[in-house]
Amino acid sequence: MRIGPWSLPNPVFVAPMAGVTDRPYRKLCKRLGAGYAVSEMAASNPRLWDSVKTSRRLDHAGEIDPIAVQIAGSDPAMLAEAAVFNVEKGARIIDINMGCPAKKVCNAAAGSALLRDEALVARILESVVRACEPLGVPVTLKTRTGWDRSHRNAPRVARMAEDIGIAALTLHGRTRADLYQGDAEYDTIGEVKSLLKIPVIANGDIDSPEKAEYVLKYTGADAVMIGRAAQGRPWIFREVAHYLASGAYLPPPTYGELRSCLLDHLEDHYRFYGEFTGVRSARKHIGWYLAELADSQALIASINTIESTREQTAALVRWFDHRPADGPATRRVPQRLAA
Ligand SMILES: Cc1cc2nc3c(=O)[nH]c(=O)nc-3n(C[C@H](O)[C@H](O)[C@H](O)COP(=O)(O)O)c2cc1C
């Protein structure tokens, strides 16, 4: 699997998730087997580039190449400028987001709202590809199957994107109107794959090695991208990649492995966000890691009230001290992924 000049180690990718796949989490997912990671969406509006949130998203120190940055917006010239700016900050691949149904993004006619205006989509893609071509940086597109179920225009948009010079396409098997409801469908992804020569990455509701194998076979896609199922479960990438390569299952992590994975993650997280934001933004990750483990509810409740990183870590260490380091930290696979 290649994106432009970049050859990727395996076809199991971590999906961009704003507020989740920050630099510490992307690094962790790659260390635990993800073949590729795209940063959370960065604003294309230059007025926002100095905000603390955007500056954090522009910080790629220590990330494993290729660094891929996602941009979102609706103004072709502004998006081209944002692409070049991100390349100057270290991006080696630029991904354009036309998949986000969030009100904040869609109301400004960006994200998946763009699917309603194919002429504007063409102008955006041309503008960004033209800006990145001289820099040797491939441009990719992430989108949904259409605006709503009666307007599934992904096949037309995908062909246009390939003609314009997009290097790879990620398709989430839902329409904008679906939000995260219902099941992702893979027929449109299969249709798009059959129309294109560029790599197609299938996304939506992939939460296990078997599901990844099924989606790859059903759609013929070149890779899968996993989002919500990787929350609190960064080792899912090595599990899926190993199964796809060998047909064999890896054992679940032990409590000892989970403990060092979580504590290493938190150390990097605190360093990245600092004390005040770090302790608060770590809570959701800790909740995800522990949610489905036995006897974790009281700990999760207490973590949500602790206000210092040192105490947050200490509470976790005390909990893990009472678990067998070699015992499997088995989790139930969620029945339905929560958005
Ligand atoms: C909390 C959250 C934040 C997300 N942020 C982004 C984003 O910034 N850019 C984007 O293209 N998609 C974003 N997505 C969509 C995911 O990349 C992915 O397409 C979607 O979750 C479906 O995949 P899944 O079923 O494996 O989770 C986000 C999803 C979630 C749940």
Would you place residue 286 in the very low, low, confident or very high pLDDT band (cuts 50, 70, 90)? very high
Q: How far apart are CA 245 and CA 209, in angstroms?
A: 11
Antiparallel, parallel or unpaired: β 168-172 and 139-144: parallel
CB 88 within 8 A of CB 132: no
Q: How far apart are CA 219 and CA 217, in angstroms?
A: 6
Residue 233 is predicted with a pLDDT of 96
Residue 301 is predicted with a pLDDT of 96
Q: How far apart are CA 139 and CA 83, in angstroms?
A: 9
Mean pLDDT (whole number) for 177-186: 94
pLDDT digits (tens, 9 = 90+) for 107-160: 555 666 789 999 999 999 999 999 999 999 999 999 999 999 999 999 999 999
Q: How far is the CA of 18 from the centre of ligand 1 (A)?
A: 7
Would you place residue 244 in the very low, low, confident or very high pLDDT band (cuts 50, 70, 90)? very high
Mean pLDDT (whole number) for 280-305: 95
Whose CA is closest to atom 28 on ligand 1?
A: 17
Closest-lying ligand 1 atom to the alpha carbon of residue 203: 23
What is this structure's pTM? 0.95
CB 303 within 8 A of CB 285: no
Q: Is 203 annotated as a binding-site member?
A: yes
Known catalytic membership, residue 261? no
Q: What percent of the chain has pLDDT over 70?
A: 93
Residue 106 is predicted with a pLDDT of 47
Residue 112 is predicted with a pLDDT of 62
pLDDT digits (tens, 9 = 90+) for 62-71: 999 999 999 9
Q: Is the pLDDT of residue 325 over 70?
A: yes
Instruction: Name the residue with higher pLDDT: 294 or 37.
Output: 37
Q: Is 68 annotated as a binding-site member?
A: no
Q: What share of the chain is helix, strand, coil (3-state, %, to 5)?
A: 45, 15, 40
Q: How far is the CA of 138 from the centre of ligand 1 (A)?
A: 21
DSSP state at residue 61: T
Task: Report helix, strand or coil for 71.
Answer: strand
Would you place residue 105 in the very low, low, confident or very high pLDDT band (cuts 50, 70, 90)? low
Q: Is the pLDDT of residue 87 over 90?
A: yes
Of the candidate ranges 38-42, 63-67, 237-241, 285-289, the one whose mean pLDDT is the lowest: 38-42
Q: Is the pLDDT of residue 273 over 50?
A: yes
Q: Is the pLDDT of residue 50 over 90?
A: no
Residue ranges lining ligand 1, Cβ < 6 Å: 15-20, 40-41, 70, 97, 99-100, 142, 172, 203-206, 226-229, 337, 339
Amino acid at residue number 258: L
Residue 335 is predicted with a pLDDT of 45
Position of tokens 């099941």? 183
Q: Is the peptide bond before 66 cis (omega within 30 degrees of 0)?
A: yes
Q: For residue 1, how many C-alpha atoms fall within 13 Å in the half-sphere facing its CB?
A: 21
Q: How far is the CA of 17 from the centre of ligand 1 (A)?
A: 5
Residue 45 is predicted with a pLDDT of 75
CB 126 within 8 A of CB 98: no
Catalytic residue among 100, 106, 132, 261: 100
Q: Is the pLDDT of residue 337 over 90?
A: no
CB 60 within 8 A of CB 23: yes
Q: How far is the CA of 172 from the centre of ligand 1 (A)?
A: 9
User: What are the tokens at 104?
Assistant: 């904040």
